[in-house]
Amino acid sequence: MKITLRPNLYFGIIFCLFLNSFNSFSQSNSKSLKKAYQDDFLIGTALGTQHILEKNAQADKLIKEQFNAITPENIMKSEVIHPELHRYNFDLADKFVAYGQKNQMYIAGHTLIWHSQLPRFVYKIQSADSLKMFMEDHIKTVAGRYAGKMNSWDVVNEALNEDGTMRPSIFYKLLGEDYIKMAFDLAAKADPNAELYYNDYNIEQPAKRKGAIAMIKKLQASGTKIDGVGIQGHWSINSNNIKEIEDAINEFSALGIKVAFTELDYTVLPNPWDLKGADVNQNFEADPKMNQYKDALPDSVGTKLANRYSDLFILFLKNKDKISRVTFWGVNDGHSWLNGWPIKNRTNYPLLFDRDCQPKKAYNAVMQLKSGQ
């Protein structure tokens, strides 16, 4: 029997086939971290100057496709934004905030008070009153300028030693532990709607975690506003600390605060003396043995990296009700600070995207966890 299609029906079928093909094409080209994890937590990245100024079209496209949260890598640290006592430099910070607003992203400020990357004049301060004046002026000016525009601030960064005691920074030496409460109170006054975080590395480890919990409890008992804790997540593919990470998520969350992973990366290279953490003041001499993959990352190491990220994101999904954000510390491997720390001029591969902004096995492993959902 011969079937004759009416013209309207014929074109309707063709249109439906075209629409299905178009939708399939769009879905295959809309795969992204932020869409895959949109019901779980924010997915962020750290932006360097080239990204803020949109100088790299390939990276810019990747950022906008994959991430819905941004953190400034360096340009809001005090040595950059407040280089002299009575002079601020807001040019790049303004552009960073504008970038986030334009692309409807969560904007995290990093960081208001940190012992490192301070302006030179701060290191010369010798009195408690002068240091208080710096803190008051700095936080009021910086946090105040962006009040209502920032979603969160890393108020105090890396205030603890590995054993959980207070780091002997210039702030601690002149002001004692009270400088932390002072910083949070000043930030809350300057930008009352922003979430306020304490940020540090290795605070998933028991001793340092205990110190962080004690510090947060003191702030809460005093009535100081603290909304969350940032676990940096500078780890090695040769470490297996999943239990410690889960314990940290649960213990920090039990304080009634949010948990964010703020600076996530996995080094694939060895560190001197099995160094752990992210103390930027630690640097070592170059050694060929410490730069094993100068030309390319072996497939077996790429698989190990992918497995580490997969295990980590399985844990994140298990605890998604406690986690507010997961931010990678860099857009791609070429942008990572781990190419220059703790040994300069190395070739590291710690992120989900390679130097050409192409997805790696690690990216596929993280995305695979959400396939079919």
Cα separation, 210 vs 222, in Å, equals 19
Q: Which residue in 79, 136, 158, 251 is the catalytic one?
A: 158
Place of tokens 């969560």: 106
Active-site annotation holds for 263 = yes
Place of tokens 């301060």: 125
Active-site annotation holds for 79 = no
- Cα 325–chain centre separation: 8
Q: Is 324 helix (H, G, I), strand (E, B) or coil?
A: strand
Q: Which residue in 177, 204, 263, 285 is the catalytic one?
A: 263
Backbone angles phi, psi at 40, to 5 degrees: -115, -60
Which residues make Cβ contacts (< 8 Å) with residue 21, sequence separation at least 6? none
Q: Amino acid identity, residue 113?
A: I
Q: What are the start-end ranges of the H helices in the chain?
A: 7-28, 33-36, 49-52, 57-66, 78-81, 91-102, 120-123, 128-145, 170-175, 178-190, 206-221, 242-253, 299-318, 361-368
Strands 228-231 and 234-236 come out as unpaired
Q: Which residues are catalytic?
A: 158, 263
